[in-house]
Amino acid sequence: MSTPWPFPRIIAHRGGGRFAPENTLAAIRKGHALGFRGVEFDVMLTSDARPVLIHDETLERTTDGRGNVAETPLDVLATLDAGSWFDAAFKAEPVPAFEAAAALCASLGLWANVEIKPATGHEQETGRVAAMTALTAWNGAVPQPLLSSLSAAALRAARSAAPALPRGLLFDAVPADWLAQLQALECVSLHCNAARLEQRTARAIRDAGYGLAVWTVNDPAMAKRLFGWGVDAIFTDRLDLIGPDFAA
């Protein structure tokens, strides 16, 4: 990334952090209501290859359904309650289609980090569909989303489908060959686990011209330290402690 980080520096994790059920339209609205200019959410495919917002490959943790997302069609997912597990106030909050989340972000002027989260064995198809959906949904609207993933195969498919959309490669711990991997996928940024990042690695990534975003940072002191290392952006659940205008 030859220019300074062009995206928000404080990003609401899974939409609303700890203040709304993750990966729902309610979460995106909550992040926006709290003043955040950027949100992150996860995209996976249903059995009929429709992209929806959900983190786990299974339904049990965040819905009242059972089974695998990749084995469940969209019309069934649409009937599930994805909010009551969090709080009764969110009862009947649905698992949203990616198109609906994209339309909401565009209408609110929110930047989105779209994490492509393929179920095992669906990497290429998830990357392709997520990228095509993002390209169509935003249709040139500003700000354009950033597509990110732990899966190189998913990002490779996303690049083929929508080469103009920026991409970020995720690592839990940054490997020795991180630069070669970013170059191979023509990424603009590297995203990693903040707890496993070293200062010298952060400096090397920034010196190489790439954006650097880290998850999940919920302690203000840690956030300040990471920004001092040159980190460009953090994902946070604590929207109350690390607000959209947190002093870097």
What residues are labeled active site? 13, 55
Tokens of 158: 């996303």
The answer to whether 133 and 99 have CB atoms below 8 angstroms apart is yes
- Could you give the residue ranges of the DSSP H alpha helices within the chain? 25-33, 74-77, 98-108, 123-138, 152-161, 178-185, 199-207, 220-228
- The helix/strand/coil state of 119 is coil
Q: How many residues does the chain have?
A: 248
Tokens of 22: 């993750």
Identify the DSSP state of 24. S
The answer to whether 103 and 77 have CB atoms below 8 angstroms apart is no
For 228, how many CA atoms within 13 A lie in the half-sphere containing its CB? 6
Tokens of 124: 């290429």
